[in-house]
Structure 1
Amino acid sequence: MGMDMAVSIKQLIDKLELQNLTPEVDITGIKVTQPDINRPALQLAGYFEHYDETRPQIIGFVEYSYMEHMTEEDKREVYPKVLSEKTPCIVFCRDLRPDEIFLETAVKNKVPVLLTQKSTSAFMAEIIRWLNVKLAPCISVHGVLVDVYGEGVLITGESGIGKSEAALELIKRGHRLVSDDVVEIRKVSDDTLVGTAPDITKHFIELRGIGIIDVKALFGVSSVMDTTNISLVIRLEDWDKEKKYDRLGLEENYTEYLGNKVVCHNIPIRPGRSLAIICECAAVNHRQKKMGYNAAQELYQRVQNSLTRKREEDEE
C-alpha cells in the first residue's frame, strides 16, 4: 500500500525548530513534496536557467552577503523570481535576517520565510536527512519490527502465529520495540530501508487474551525507539514435516520491499522453541556475516580441509 509523500510547512517548522518570520502568510496547505533543496546563489545574480522553484530554498552566509550588496532596483527585479508562488518556503541560516523588500515580496507571493540559528552546512544536512526519510517511497506491511543488538529485525507471518509474543519476550530481554502489527517501510536509498510505526499505534502491542499494552509505560523509554534500519526479516510459519528447511545457512534467502532485497529466514514454529532466542541468534549471526565471518562457511571449510587431509593420508 503506497502513501502520499508530502510534508507540511508546519511539520517542517516544528521538527527543525524554525522561526516563522512571515506569520501573515497562511501556511495551511503548503507542502514540501520532494527531498531536494536549493541554494539560490545564481538566481540572486539573475541566472534562472534550470531553476527548480518547487524546492525549499536555503540562504546561507554567501547568499546573504550578496543580497546586502544588491541595489534596490535589483532586489525588486530578482526577489519576485526567487520567491515564486510555487516555492514552499525559504530558510535563512545562522540567524541572518532578510531585508524589508524581501519580506514584503514573500508576503505578497505567499512564501513562508523561516529562520534557524544553525550553520548552513549543519542545517542542510539535517533537512536533507529528514526529508529523505519523510518523503521516501513508503509501504505498510503486517508484522512486528524490533531492534535487536542494533539490527532491525522485521518479524512477519500469519496472524496469530506469535509475532507479538516473540517481540514481547525480546523486549523483556532488553531489546527495543519499533512497531507492532503495522510497520511503515520507507526506501531511503537503494540499500537502506527504514521502518517506523504509525503515530496512532506507536509503542502499543496487542496480545491475544490480554488486549492492548503500552510498552513504553510498562518497560520504560529504553524499551522503545521511533525508527530503525531494516536489515533482517524473520518469517514465522507453521512446521511442515514435508518441507525441507535450511540447516546450514550456506546460501542466503532474500525478500524484497520497494525494490530493495533484505536477508530473510523462514523459521518453523514448534512447541518448545524459544522464538526470542532464535531472533537474537539470527540478528547476531547476521551482524557477524556483515563483518566478514560466516559460521556455515567456516564449518564447510573445516570439513573440506579434513577430507583433503584424509585423502592425502590414504594416498601415502
Structure 2
Amino acid sequence: MKAFTILDLLDLDLKEHNILELSCIAGRSGLSRKITTNKISRPGLPLSGYFDEFSVESIQVFGRGEQHFLAHLEVLGNYEAIEKILSSNVPCCIFSDMGTPSAHFIKLAEENSCAILQTPLPSSDFSRHLYQLLDAVFAPTITIHAVMVEVFGIGVLITGDSGVGKSETALELIERGHRLISDDTVKLRNIGDNHLIGSGENPLLAHHMEIRGLGIINVAHLFGVGAIRERKQVQLVVKLDKWESQKDYDRIGSALEETILGISIPMVEIPVKPGRNVPILIETAARTERLKKLGYYSSKDFDQTVVHWLESQTARSVYYDEEKP
C-alpha cells in the first residue's frame, strides 16, 4: 500500500463522517509524517523517564492522566522527557478530551515538526475508534477478479472464469432488489483475522458494470442508490463453473469452504448451462446460509429424517416378522 500519513488520517476522518473529530492545533509541518503501524501508545512511562520500551513508531495519545502529568512536569520545569518524546520522530501527538498543551509544549512541537492533534472524545472512546480505523488501513489486502453483491443481507462473492456470466447474474440479482458492492474487481481486506470485507478497488468505478452486448452501465443511475453499497462482509463464496457432464457436482449440501487471506468462508459451486436460473440458485444459497447462522442445517435435518425413517421401517419390519406364525 502507499504511504499513509497524518494528513491522510485527517482526510479519512472526514470521509468517515468525522468519527475521530480530529483537528490540528500545531506542528502542521509534520502532517506529512508517515504512520507505519496500527499500534497506539499512551506515553505515561516515557513521561516519567522510562524509555526502554518506548514505541517510537506509534501515535502518542495523551489522555487526562498524561495531560495532568505534563502539567506537573512543567510546574517543576522538567522538560527533558517531553523534549525526548517530541524529538524522536513520533508520527504525531493527540490530546483527547479537548486537552490543550502548554505554549512551551507547542513551541517544542513546532521546532521538531511534530503535528499536535486534538479531539473532544474521551481517550477510551477515541482509542477504540482509532484502533478500528488503523486496523482497516493496515489490514492484509488482495484484489481479485470477481463480482460482489448483497443478497438478503448476506455478502456474496461471485467467482468464476471470464465469460461464465458473473456480471449478468449480478445484474439479474440487482433487478430482483439486491445490492451491488463491486463488479469485475473486488478488494478484500482481512480485518482482525475475523472478517473478510469486500469493496470496490476503485470507489468511483465499483458501481459500473460491463455487460457484453450493452457496454458500460451505471447501476446507481439505472436502479437508484438503494441498489448499491460501498462495502460488505464476505459471508458466502459462489463459484460459477461451466457445466461438465463428466464432473461430479455436490448434490447433498456438503460443507465446502474457501480460504481467503487466512479466513475460511462457506462456498457453493454452481454449474452453469443454458436453462439454469443461476440468480434464484444464489438467492436460495443465501437464504440457506442465513438459516445456518440461526443453527438450522437442511442437509443435517434431511439426514436425521432419513435415519428416523429407516429406524421406524426396521422396527416395523421386525414387529411384523414376529407376528408371522
TM-score range, shorter chain: over 0.9
Residues in 1 aligned to 2:67 and 2:30: alpha-carbon distance in whole angstroms:
25
Alignment-derived partner of residue 95 in structure 1: 98
- 1:145-170 CA distance string (max 9 Å, x none): 11222221100011121111111222
**Residue 234 (1) aligns with residue 238 (2):** yes
2:205 and 2:260 map into 1 onto residues whose CA distance is 22
Residue identity in the other structure for 2:70: M
**1:154 pairs with one of 129, 152, 157:** 157
Matched with 1:272 is 275
**Equivalent residue number for residue 86 of structure 1:** 89
1:120 deviates by 1.7
Partners in 2 of 1:195 and 1:107 — Cα distance?
40
**1:35 counterpart (35, 38, 48):** 38
Pairwise CA distance, 1:26:
4.3
Aligned counterpart, 1:314? 317
Greater than 4 Å deviation, 4+ residue runs: 72-75
Aligned residues with identical type, % of pairs: 36
Match of 1:217 in 2: 221
- 2:7 aligned residue: 10
Larger Rg: 2
Does the CA-based 8 Å contact 1:6-1:135 persist in structure 2?
A: no
AA partner of residue 40 (structure 2): I
Once the two structures are overlaid, the 10-residue window that deviates more, 265-274 or 16-25, is: 16-25
**Deviation sequence 1:211-270 (CA, Å, 0-9, x none):** 222222322222222211111110101111111111111x31111211222111111002
Who is 2:323 aligned against? Answer: none
| Residue 183, structure 1, aligned to residue 186, structure 2 | yes
Unaligned runs of 5+ in 2: 320-325
Question: Is contact 2:109–2:115 with CA below 8 Å preserved after alignment?
Answer: yes
> What CA distance in whole angstroms lies between the structure 2 residues aligned with 1:70 and 1:129?
32
1:3-50 per-position Cα deviation (integer Å, ceiling 9, x unaligned): x2642222211222421112541423x221211111112222222221
2:250 pairs with 1:246: yes
What is the root-mean-square deviation of aligned Cα atoms in Å? 1.7
Q: Does the 8 A contact of 1:76 with 1:101 survive in 2?
A: no
Counterparts of 1:51 and 1:171 in 2: how far apart (Å)?
A: 52
Instruction: Describe the superposition over 1:119-177 as per-residue Cα deviations: whole angstroms up to 9, x where unpaired.
Output: 22222111111111111111111101112222211000111211111112222222221
Q: How does 1:83-162 map to 2 (within 5 A)?
A: 83-162=86-165
Correspondent of 1:256 among 259, 276, 285: 259
Unaligned runs of 5+ in 1: none
Counterpart AA for 1:274: N
Name the SS for the 2:68 alignment partner: helix
Q: Which residue of 2 aligns with 1:205?
A: 209
TM-score by length of 2: 0.90
Go from structure 1 to structure 2 and tell me whether the alpha carbon gap of 1:69 and 1:226 turns closer, same or farther (over 3 Å shift).
same
Partners of 2:28 and 2:312 lie apart in 1 by 83
- Distance (Å, rounded) in 2 between the aligned partners of 1:180 and 1:47: 52
Asked whether the equivalents of residues 206 and 213 of structure 1 are also in contact (C-alpha less than 8 Å), the reply is yes
Whichever residue aligns with residue 224 of structure 1, its letter is: I
TM-score, normalised with respect to structure 1: 0.93
What is the count of residue pairs matched by the alignment? 311
